[in-house]
Structure 1
């Protein structure tokens, strides 16, 4: 079924504006160039698809200090004087890591200890700032 609705890259180039309109206002599109097939989604469609990749953090409080980490990206840890401060710092570190991951995507996606981070990183990259990412974190 998918291969019947694949657009040819030449057709897309000839009507790029219409292609974008269809992706944004109607549905994802599939495009083939030679042997390669890609998919195109609007930002809203991607956010919807990525919702299943819930980002959670664990934390402990001891003597007024909150210590926590992102469960899906275990290298991200922080310490703060409040839960909200902890959430914001973890979000900032996650945004920084997402940028690093994206910049080195080819290497990171091939690394056994990092490739499982990819869907969570993609989800983070869909948002504009740290406060939006902090809202994604569930503790």
Structure 2
């Protein structure tokens, strides 16, 4: 969505064990000029289950997306619009390990049948691995 990453700065903390990272904070600069932060931790207090939250601030407002809702704030309206998961959920024909996994599997099968490239491929995964490696390298420098 934001383009390729051009600069990475990372900080890693191990509080409970030297063998495992407990917290990662990183700064990402994209070639498009977009910049952002990525925080991840398995040991933050009061987070019983894994949670993903993406916040994007732009020149006209803000977007917040989680597994449960999408909130949009537009400056010109000075108000939030919230869409909850149940409002956006379309369901799946057959649930195999969770609807998000079923949709991924269905997309892969349809891509193979129709001889089309998948939306995300191994090269996209490689780009993610390069960013993760750059975070580790930056944190160790």
TM-score normalised by structure 1 residue count? 0.24
Where is the strand percentage greater, Structure 1 or Structure 2? 2
Which protein has the bigger helix share? Answer: 1
Q: TM-score, normalised by structure 2?
A: 0.24
